[in-house]
């Protein structure tokens, strides 16, 4: 990253982000090794998928940290990446609606698509990113509304799924602040 006058600035959070990702990937291995009765049973494919997912998240963090030096932009970008990561992780692990195999969970790929495509259309500028994150929050809530209309889901899982709109809203607010 380049600061004022062309000098390079260090990203102080980089070791924590990549180190945290490595620790997160080690947790299931430790659980399987130290507490076999815990029920954690990951295959090599599970570790590979999570490793790729964590590398993508960390790479996106790096991209966002280099994109704009504003703390609000960085916080918004980090929040958006975290929201996307948690959406994918929850859907792969247990599913937001029903089980991980429930077709209703495919709606959340649309939420991620809206956030990603909106960011591209907005050229990763703060104002465009704000609009994309607000649209992702609306899409998250629309997915919950569709699930409510279809029925067959518990109120608790619908409420928790609706709460996933909060990080998208927070990211949008941070980007809106950075755009000023």
Q: Dump pLDDT digits (tens) for 126-159.
A: 999 999 999 999 999 999 999 999 988 999 999 9
8 has a pLDDT exceeding 90: no
* pLDDT for res 147: 94
For 171, residues 6+ apart whose C-beta sits below 8 A from its C-beta are 76, 77, 79, 80, 83, 129, 133
End residue of a domain, out of 67, 99, 121: 67
- 9 shares a domain with 60: yes
Structural domain span for residue 28: 1-67
Which residues make Cβ contacts (< 8 Å) with residue 85, sequence separation at least 6? Answer: 53, 57
Q: Based on the domain organization, do 92 and 177 belong to the same domain?
A: yes
Q: What is the pLDDT of residue 4?
A: 46
Of all residues in the chain, what percent carry a pLDDT higher than 70? Answer: 94
**How far lies 159's CA from each of 12, 21, 25, 109, 144, in Å?**
36, 28, 28, 19, 8
Claim to verify: residue 97 and residue 179 sit in the same structural domain = yes
Which of 51-60, 93-102, 160-169 has the least mean pLDDT? 93-102
Instruction: Judge if 89 and 58 occupy the same domain.
Output: no
The pLDDT value recorded for residue 38 is 86
pLDDT band of 9, cuts 50, 70, 90: low
| Residue that is last in its domain, among 36, 67, 98 | 67
157 and 91 share one domain: yes
Q: pTM for this one?
A: 0.86
Residues 52 and 82 in one domain: no
Same domain, 8 and 96: no
Judge if 86 and 150 occupy the same domain: yes
What pLDDT is recorded for position 108? Answer: 96
**Domain check: are 105 and 32 in the same one?**
no
Given this model, what pLDDT does residue 118 score? 97
Residue 11 has pLDDT above 90, yes or no: no
Residue 67: per-residue pLDDT: 83
User: 58 and 138 share a domain?
Assistant: no
**Domain termination site, one of 18, 33, 67:** 67
Tally of domains in the chain: 2
* Same domain assignment for residues 58 and 83: no
Judge if 57 and 108 occupy the same domain. Answer: no
Per-residue pLDDT, 84: 96
pLDDT in tens, 83-134: 999 999 999 888 999 888 899 999 999 999 999 999 999 999 999 999 999 9
Q: Which pLDDT score, from 0 to 100, does residue 21 have?
A: 93
The 3-class secondary structure across the chain, one letter per residue, is: CECHHHCECCCCCHHHHHHHHHHHHHHHHHHHHHCHHHCCCCCHHHHHHHHHHHHHHHHHHHHHHHHCCCHHHHHHHHHHHHHHHHHHHHHHHCCCCCCCCCHHHHHHHHHHHHHHHHHHHCCCCHHHHHHHHHHHHHHHHHHHHHHHHHCCCCHHHHHHHHHCHHHHHHHHHHHHHHHC
């Amino acid at each position: 990253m380049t600061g004022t006058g062309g000098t390079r600035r260090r990203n102080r959070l980089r070791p924590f982000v990549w180190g945290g990702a490595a620790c997160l990937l080690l947790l299931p291995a430790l659980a399987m090794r130290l507490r076999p009765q815990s029920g954690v049973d990951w295959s090599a494919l599970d570790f590979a998928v999570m490793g790729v997912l964590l590398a993508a998240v960390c790479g996106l963090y790096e991209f966002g940290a280099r994109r704009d030096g504003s703390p609000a932009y960085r916080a918004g970008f980090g929040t958006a990446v975290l929201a996307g990561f948690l959406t994918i992780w929850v859907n792969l692990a247990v599913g937001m609606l029903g089980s991980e195999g429930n077709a209703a969970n495919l709606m959340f790929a649309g939420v991620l698509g809206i956030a990603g495509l909106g960011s591209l259309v907005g050229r990763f500028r703060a104002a465009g990113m704000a609009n994309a994150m607000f649209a992702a929050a609306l899409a998250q809530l629309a997915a919950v509304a569709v699930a409510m209309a279809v029925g067959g889901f518990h109120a608790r899982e619908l409420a928790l799924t609706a709460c996933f709109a909060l990080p998208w809203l927070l990211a949008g607010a941070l980007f809106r602040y950075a755009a000023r």
